[in-house]
Chain A
Amino acid sequence: MSKVLMKGNEAIALAAVNAGLDAFFGYPITPQNEVPEYLSKYLQEKGKVFVQAESEVAAINMVYGAAGAGARVMTSSSSVGIALKQEGISYIAGAELPCVIVSVMRAGPGLGGIQPSQADYFQATRGGGNGDYRVVVFAPESIQETVDLIKEAFEVADYYRNPVMVLADGLIGQMMETVDLDKPVKKRHIEPKTYATTGTKYHEGRNVITSLGLDPIYLEKHNIDLKNKYNEIIKHETAFEMINMDHAEYVIVAFGTSARISRSAIETLKEKGINVGMIRPISLWPFPRKAFDLIPKSVKGLMVVEMNMGQMLDDVLISNKGRHKVAFYGRAGGMVPEPEEIVDAILNFDSKVVES
Chain B
Amino acid sequence: MIRYERSKGLTDVHTHYCPGCTHGMLHKLVAEVLDELGILDNTVGIASVGCSVFSYEYFNTDFQQAPHGRACAVATGIKRVLPDRIVFTYQGDGDLGSIGIAEAIHAANRGENITVILANNATYGMTGGQMAPTTLIGQVSTTSQQGRDRIQHGAPLRISEIFGQIEAAAYVERVSMHDVGNIRKAKKAIKKAFTYQMEGRGFTLIEVISTCPVNWGMKPRQALDWAKENMIPIYPLGVYKDVTPHD
A-B contact pairs, 28 of them (CB 8 A): A23-B80, A25-B77, A53-B73, A54-B103, A54-B105, A55-B102, A57-B73, A58-B73, A58-B76, A61-B70, A61-B77, A64-B66, A64-B77, A65-B46, A65-B74, A65-B77, A68-B74, A71-B81, A73-B81, A95-B65, A198-B85, A200-B40, A206-B62, A206-B63, A207-B62, A207-B63, A209-B64, A210-B47
Residue-wise, chain B 32-62 has the 8 Å CB interface mask toward A (1 for contact) of 0000000011111011000001001000111
A176-202 interface (Cβ within 8 A of B): 197-201
Task: Tell me whether A91 is interfacial, beta carbon within 8 Å.
Answer: yes
Contact A206 B60 (CB under 8 A): yes
Task: Tell me whether B21 is interfacial, beta carbon within 8 Å.
Answer: no
Q: How far is the CB of B108 from chain A (nearest CB, A)?
A: 11
Contact B75 A65 (CB under 8 A): yes
Contacts A51-B76, A70-B81, A210-B47; A199 near B102 (Cβ below 8 A): no
13 extra A-B contacts, CB within 8 A, seeds A61-B77, A207-B62: A25-B77, A51-B80, A51-B110, A53-B76, A54-B105, A61-B66, A65-B75, A67-B77, A68-B77, A88-B67, A197-B63, A199-B43, A206-B62
Query: Which residue of chain B has its CB nearest to the CB of A197?
Result: B62
Contact B78 A68 (CB under 8 A): yes
Cα distance A79–B55 in the bound complex, in angstroms:
35
Cα distance A212–B123 in the bound complex, in angstroms:
22
Contact A69 B77 (CB under 8 A): yes
Cα distance A303–B62 in the bound complex, in angstroms:
53
Residue-wise, chain B 10-39 has the 8 Å CB interface mask toward A (1 for contact) of 010000000000000000000000000000
For B81, give its contact among A23, A53, A201, A211 (CB under 8 Å): A23
Find the residue from A73, A87, A88, A200 having the highest chain B CB count within 10 A: A200
Query: Which residue of chain B has its CB nearest to the CB of A54?
Result: B106
B57-113 interface (Cβ within 8 A of A): 60-67, 70, 73-78, 80-82, 85-86, 102-103, 105-106, 110
Total residues of chain B contacting the partner, CB 8 A: 35
Query: Which residue of chain B has its CB nearest to the CB of A71?
Result: B81
Total residues of chain A contacting the partner, CB 8 A: 39
Find the residue from B46, B80, B85 having the highest chain A CB count within 10 A: B80
Dominant secondary structure of chain A at its interface with chain B: mixed
B60 to chain A: which residues have CB within 8 Å?
200, 206
A34 to chain B: which residues have CB within 8 Å?
none
Residue-wise, chain A 4-38 has the 8 Å CB interface mask toward B (1 for contact) of 00000000000000000011010000000000000
In order of increasing CB-CB distance, the 4 nearest A-B pairs are A65-B77, A61-B73, A201-B41, A62-B77
Contact B74 A199 (CB under 8 A): no
Cα distance A91–B102 in the bound complex, in angstroms:
19
B40 to chain A: which residues have CB within 8 Å?
200
Contact A69 B82 (CB under 8 A): yes
B85 to chain A: which residues have CB within 8 Å?
198-199
Contact A68 B64 (CB under 8 A): yes
Contacts A51-B80, A54-B103, A69-B82; A198 near B70 (Cβ below 8 A): no
Cα distance A65–B62 in the bound complex, in angstroms:
12
Contacts A57-B70, A61-B67, A209-B64; A199 near B81 (Cβ below 8 A): no
Residue-wise, chain A 194-226 has the 8 Å CB interface mask toward B (1 for contact) of 000111110000111111100000000000000
Task: Tell me whether A63 is interfacial, beta carbon within 8 Å.
Answer: yes
Contacts A197-B62, A199-B41, A199-B62; A65 near B47 (Cβ below 8 A): no
Q: How far is the CB of A31 from chain B (nearest CB, A)?
A: 25
Contact B62 A208 (CB under 8 A): yes
For B67, give its contact among A53, A69, A91, A199 (CB under 8 Å): A91
Contact B80 A53 (CB under 8 A): no
For A66, give its contact among B70, B80, B110 (CB under 8 Å): B80
B42 to chain A: which residues have CB within 8 Å?
199, 201
Contact B82 A62 (CB under 8 A): no
Contacts A58-B103, A206-B62, A212-B53; A64 near B74 (Cβ below 8 A): yes
Contacts A62-B77, A210-B56; A69 near B65 (Cβ below 8 A): no
A87 to chain B: which residues have CB within 8 Å?
67
Task: Tell me whether A83 is interfacial, beta carbon within 8 Å.
Answer: no
Residue-wise, chain A 65-107 has the 8 Å CB interface mask toward B (1 for contact) of 1111111010000000000000110010001000000000000
B103 to chain A: which residues have CB within 8 Å?
54, 57-58, 61
A58 to chain B: which residues have CB within 8 Å?
70, 73, 76, 102-103, 106
Q: How far is the CB of A221 from chain B (nearest CB, A)?
A: 18
Task: Tell me whether A49 is interfacial, beta carbon within 8 Å.
Answer: yes
Contacts A61-B70, A197-B64, A199-B41; A66 near B77 (Cβ below 8 A): yes
Contact B106 A53 (CB under 8 A): yes
Contact A62 B76 (CB under 8 A): yes
B81 to chain A: which residues have CB within 8 Å?
22-23, 49, 66, 69-71, 73
Q: How far is the CB of A175 from chain B (nearest CB, A)?
A: 32
Find the residue from A62, A65, A211 having the highest chain B CB count within 10 A: A65
Q: How far is the CB of A39 from chain B (nearest CB, A)?
A: 13
Query: Which residue of chain B has its CB nearest to the CB of A52?
Result: B110
B43 to chain A: which residues have CB within 8 Å?
199
Cα distance A95–B41 in the bound complex, in angstroms:
22
Contact B77 A208 (CB under 8 A): no
Q: How far is the CB of A35 from chain B (nearest CB, A)?
A: 18
